[in-house]
Amino acid sequence: MTDDELKELAAQLKQPYGPKGVETGVMLHESNLNMTLNAIRALRLNSHDAVFELGHGNCSHLEELFSFADNLSYQGLEISDVMIAEAIRINQAFVEHKKANFCLYDGCHFPFPNASFDKGFSVNTLYFWESPLNMLREIDRVLKPRGCFAITFGDKSYLEKQPFTRYGFDLYGIEDVEELVKQTQFRVQHIEQQSEMIQSKAGNRVQRIYNTIVIGK
């Protein structure tokens, strides 16, 4: 891929936009599904949990999330209006039955009252957080007492070899995230590292190493 193509790919991965954004959402769902399900499993969802997700993409995984426990409610947050529209279209029945809601936000401030959710998660958004500490404080604010949040992300050792991450990605290893968490009211509850063979966003077959870190109050 040319530099211009890599820049375009990186921009789409951060915030899918325009006609190509719909295609990006499909690609992200397919390539990230194992990571998404791993994050959801790590939350150990209970019946009636209120769950929120940062950066849900087209949210084709929502039906699978609802299969993890009974009577869950879901709130999605996105910076991409294209992904909001796709998520609503794909999950129209859940929206109509008020089991799910999707909201556009500015990537920094959550439009919810304090202590709104039992649990939350985010997959492959950490690289784009403008202020990780402020984001963690917002997560803390909207979680109920004893709430927890799963952060799933590609490990720095894997992503630094991918050509598109030169453009706008901040890369993290497990130790980097642990250091961030130490500066908040959270504590690390669980750490898991996985490896899988995938077709990379740049089109080649690679071994992806990713981490899930569950933080709680």
- Whichever domain contains 16, its CATH number is 3.40.50.150
Cα angle 100-106-112, degrees, rounded to a multiple of 5: 50
> Domain range holding 194?
3-216
Q: Nearest-CA neighbor of 15 among 150, 163, 124? A: 124
Dihedral, CA of residue 122, residue 126, residue 128 and residue 133, to nearest 10: 110
Global pTM exceeds 0.85: yes
What gap in Å lies between CA 75 and CA 105, rounded to an integer? 12
How confident is the chain (217 residues) per 10-residue block, as mean pLDDT?
Answer: 93 95 96 96 98 98 98 98 98 97 96 98 97 97 97 97 95 98 97 90 82 96
**Distance set, CA 210 to CA 34, 45, 171 (Å):** 10, 21, 12
Strands of the sheet with 143-154, listed across from one edge: 100-104, 73-78, 50-54, 117-123, 143-154, 205-216, 187-199
pLDDT for 213 equals 98
The count of structural domains within the chain is 1
